[in-house]
Amino acid sequence: MMQKKMPQFKKLLVLVIPLLSLTSWAQQDAQYTQYMYNTQGINPAYAGTRGQLSLAALYRNQWVGVDGAPESATLNAQAPIGESGIGLGLSIVTDKVGPTQETAFDIDFSYTIPLNVAADLSFGLKASGHLLDVRFSELNSYDPDDAVLQNDIHNRFSPNIGAGLYYHTDRFYLGLSVPRILETEHFDSSSLATATERMHWYLITGYIFEANPNLKIKPALLTKAVKGAPLQVDMSLNFMLRDRFVLGAAYRWDAALSALAGFHIGDGLFLGLAYDREVTELGNTAFNDGSFEVILRYDFMDKSSRFLKSPRFF
């Protein structure tokens, strides 16, 4: 099926991974270990809640060493609109898996209602446009006349919408969201292969404990639910030292262990790194070197910003 120099098991993975991207319901949305720095991607109500213009770029290389393994990249911007309570966000997300590539363009709108002097409740809406490419011609097949593999898919467009709620104080946050509501089918029902987008429900929460003036501790939880797939639970524990350095660990239930590190470089600039190691059989293979992530974020803070001396931890 694939090149003969590849081990048999590796050949199977190269074929199966792209097909999973078309048929699986479990991981259609981009998956990030450092999701806490990319909350806008899964909850539109987060847009603008940082209190200033914020730009971020996030890249993930999953299962390094496995041909055709997933790669994801996100570029986003968000900002509040004056004192109106309105927040706006823009995102571009690209996912590559084997011969498939999907690019999403998102516009996020949020409206924040102060509940009291310490807590806000934000409502969010997301509008998306997706472009799907599937290069069947890059696959080698036993049957060259296979009808499914005859025609590549180029920039097939599909719209979508999403919604979310986000409750937050200076120390606590709780969010519930569905970033993709429309269940779009990318292939005809008569085709041998189908790719139907499914609704993904996200629940996120976290709390910041201040152990002393130089140490903050934040446990956090992300739960993702989608019909037909096991519940995904990500648990993390991060420590912020002197408002500059972040160290932490995370566990994705029955999937992976992760190490995280972050650095506030000057005022407003943050660099975050993460490494995942699978705890499944895939993690024990010789050609899987784990998954890597890097994020770079910049907050445009003025001198009056209260976050200048105390950077946001979520």
169-228 pLDDT, tens digit per residue, is 999 999 999 999 998 775 544 444 455 677 899 999 999 999 999 999 999 999 999 888
- 11, part of any domain: no
Task: Count structural domains, the chain.
Answer: 1
- 191, part of any domain: no
Give the residue with greater pLDDT, 168 vs 306.
Answer: 168
Q: Which domain holds residue 129?
A: 46-138+150-181+197-299
Question: What is the mean predicted confidence (pLDDT) over 89-104?
Answer: 91
Residue 168 is encoded by which pair of tokens? 């937050």
pLDDT at 308 over 60: no
| Selection from 80, 94, 163 nearest residue 126 by Cα | 163
Residue 252's CATH number: 2.40.160.40
pLDDT on residue 148: 60
- 16, part of any domain: no
> Would you say 90 and 79 are in contact if contact means Cβ atoms under 8 Å apart?
no
Give dist(CA 203, CA 173) in Å, integer: 11
pTM of the model: 0.83
pLDDT on residue 286: 59
- 314, part of any domain: no
Residue 219 is encoded by which pair of tokens? 């446990």
Residues near 48 by beta carbon (within 8 Å), at least 6 away in sequence = 78, 79, 80, 81, 86, 87, 88, 89, 110, 112, 122
- 190, part of any domain: no
Question: What is the mean predicted confidence (pLDDT) over 243-261?
Answer: 93
- 160, part of any domain: yes
- 310, part of any domain: no
**pLDDT band with cut points at 50, 70 and 90 for residue 287:** low
pLDDT on residue 172: 96
Q: Which residues are registered as beta bridge partners of 241?
A: 215, 245
The count of other CB atoms within 10 Å of the CB of residue 313 is 18
pLDDT at 7 over 70: no
> Would you say 89 and 106 are in contact if contact means Cβ atoms under 8 Å apart?
yes
pLDDT on residue 206: 96
Q: What percent of the chain has pLDDT over 90?
A: 52
- 113, part of any domain: yes
